[in-house]
């Protein structure tokens, strides 16, 4: 993760910490010292923030949120946690896995308060940990079912070229009468096409692509230095087609975005408030991508599904799961194995043979 991105995330965490009780701030300090990534700390922060909002809304404590006493957590019952989980499902419309992640965040907090943190008398902050009795429920779905879900939402075959052509010109044809939107598209077309081509031609995560600096790209070898998930520095190859779109964006980058000499980010966004360009943020990219997909025939596509599209195509062409694991930077090959099922028609063929 780039230094500037780390600082931005840490600033968000510090802002949220002002709203939280002292002992939760200690928990975040513990996570920092334990080597937890900034993004993970921010996720914990958001999950716990939602939980405290719920506690106050339900009347567990009448005071300010940053003065919530430890005694409130000590007295919580399992039924209270179940009610919070139902709130996440029914009111916040969270799916099973999201509720499970929020439950995991609370389990980590309560574990710290009951097993690690100590007061002046060397006693734990919490003597009773209700979260120790709570199970994390995950969506039960087979690898073949996951693969089928992926296959229905990604780019396959000729759709790679079709989608690239849509970003390059098709989208503009559809919105030509919407002057403001069309001007924004024309201004950012080369940049957006370069990002999409890079992900489709390398399998990078969107956040990894946006972390790239100007000097990270080796134009002679079609390779780029990236900071990958887990804060790992890596060298990633990208396709010749991606290189063409990247170079086209490179040629117009300075003239169109006019970055200050101190700006190292390769992918830029022009600020509407200051008039200065800076590194394109993931939320801005997701918003722009949603606008494209709203006009495209496959509206189930997301920016992350481009990575799935690349992985599926890579396995089909190379039939090498170990190589794909390395390319995708997966820590566990079982995560990569799902792509062996996406286009696997062997099972269907074998069943048909029984009829013969």
Distance CA(315)–CA(308), nearest Å, equals: 11
pLDDT in tens, 62-112: 999 899 999 999 999 999 999 999 999 999 999 888 999 999 999 999 999
Interaxial angle between packed helices 78-90 and 38-57, expressed in degrees from 0 to 180 and rounded to the nearest 10: 100
Residue 129 has pLDDT above 90, yes or no: yes
Distance CA(210)–CA(277), nearest Å, equals: 14
CATH number (3.40.50.920, 3.40.50.720, 1.10.443.10, 3.20.20.80) of 146-347 reads: 1.10.443.10
Residue 235 phi, psi dihedral angles, 5° rounding: -115, 125
CB neighbours of residue 209 within 10 Å:
26
Q: Report which of residues 197 and 273 the model is more confident about.
A: 197
Look-up of token digits 């134009």 = 219
For the record, the structure tokens of 122 come out as 């060397």
Strand partners, 61: none
Q: What is the pLDDT of residue 346?
A: 47
Strands laid side by side in the 232-237 sheet: 217-218, 223-228, 232-237
Query: Domain ranges in the chain?
Result: 3-140, 146-347
Q: What is the pLDDT of residue 347?
A: 45
Q: What is the pLDDT of residue 88?
A: 94
Q: What is the pLDDT of residue 32?
A: 83
Strand partners, 237: 223
CA 73 remoteness from chain centre: 30
Exposure string (b/e) for 172-203, b if CB count within 10 Å is 16 or more? Answer: eebeeeeeeebeebeebbbbbbbbbbbbbbbb
Q: What is the pLDDT of residue 141?
A: 67
Look-up of token digits 């069943």 = 351
Q: What is the pLDDT of residue 350?
A: 46
What average pLDDT does this structure show over 251-266?
91
Determine whether 19 is exposed, middle or buried from the number of CB atoms within 10 Å of its CB (0-12, 13-18, 19+).
middle
CA 257 remoteness from chain centre: 26
Residue 16 has pLDDT above 90, yes or no: no
Q: What is the pLDDT of residue 345?
A: 53
What average pLDDT does this structure show over 301-327?
90
Residue 342 has pLDDT above 90, yes or no: no
**What single DSSP character describes residue 166?**
I
pLDDT in tens, 213-254: 999 999 999 999 998 876 778 899 999 999 999 999 999 999
What is the number of helices (H) and of strands (E) in the chain? 18, 5
pLDDT grade, residue 299 (50/70/90)?
A: confident
Q: Report which of residues 157 and 215 the model is more confident about.
A: 215
Question: Would you please indicate which residues are annotated as catalytic (active-site) residues?
Answer: 205, 229, 304, 307, 330, 339
């Amino acid at each position: 993760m780039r230094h500037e991105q780390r600082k931005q995330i840490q600033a968000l965490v510090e802002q949220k910490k002002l709203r939280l009780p002292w002992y939760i701030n200690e928990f975040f300090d513990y996570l920092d010292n334990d080597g937890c990534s900034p993004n993970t700390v921010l996720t914990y922060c958001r999950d716990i923030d939602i939980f405290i909002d719920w506690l106050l809304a339900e009347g567990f404590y009448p005071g300010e949120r940053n003065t919530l006493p430890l005694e409130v957590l000590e007295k919580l019952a399992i039924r209270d946690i179940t009610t919070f989980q139902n709130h996440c499902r029914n009111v916040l419309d969270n799916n099973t896995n999201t509720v499970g992640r929020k439950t995991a965040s609370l389990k980590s907090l309560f574990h710290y308060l009951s097993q690690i943190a100590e007061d002046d008398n060397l006693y734990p902050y919490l003597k009773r940990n209700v979260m120790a009795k709570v199970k994390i429920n995950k969506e039960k779905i087979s690898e073949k079912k996951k693969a089928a879900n992926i296959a229905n939402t990604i780019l396959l075959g000729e759709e790679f070229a079709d989608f690239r052509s849509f970003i390059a010109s098709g989208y503009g044809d559809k919105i030509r009468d919407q002057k403001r939107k069309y001007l924004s598209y024309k201004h950012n077309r080369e940049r957006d096409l370069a990002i999409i081509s890079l992900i489709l031609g390398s399998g990078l995560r969107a956040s990894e692509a946006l972390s790239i600096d100007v000097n990270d790209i080796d134009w002679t070898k079609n390779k780029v230095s990236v900071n990958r998930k887990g804060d790992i520095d890596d060298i990633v190859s990208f396709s010749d087609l991606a290189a063409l779109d990247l170079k086209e964006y490179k040629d117009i980058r300075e003239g169109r975005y006019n970055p200050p000499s101190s700006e190292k980010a390769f992918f830029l966004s022009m600020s509407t408030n200051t008039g200065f360009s800076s590194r394109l943020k993931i939320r801005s990219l997701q918003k722009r991508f949603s606008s494209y997909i709203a006009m495209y025939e496959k509206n189930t596509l997301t920016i992350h599904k481009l990575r799935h599209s690349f992985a599926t195509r890579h396995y089909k062409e190379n039939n090498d799961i170990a190589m794909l694991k390395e390319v995708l930077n997966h820590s566990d090959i079982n995560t990569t194995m799902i792509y062996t099922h996406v286009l696997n028609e062997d099972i269907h063929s074998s069943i048909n043979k029984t009829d013969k």
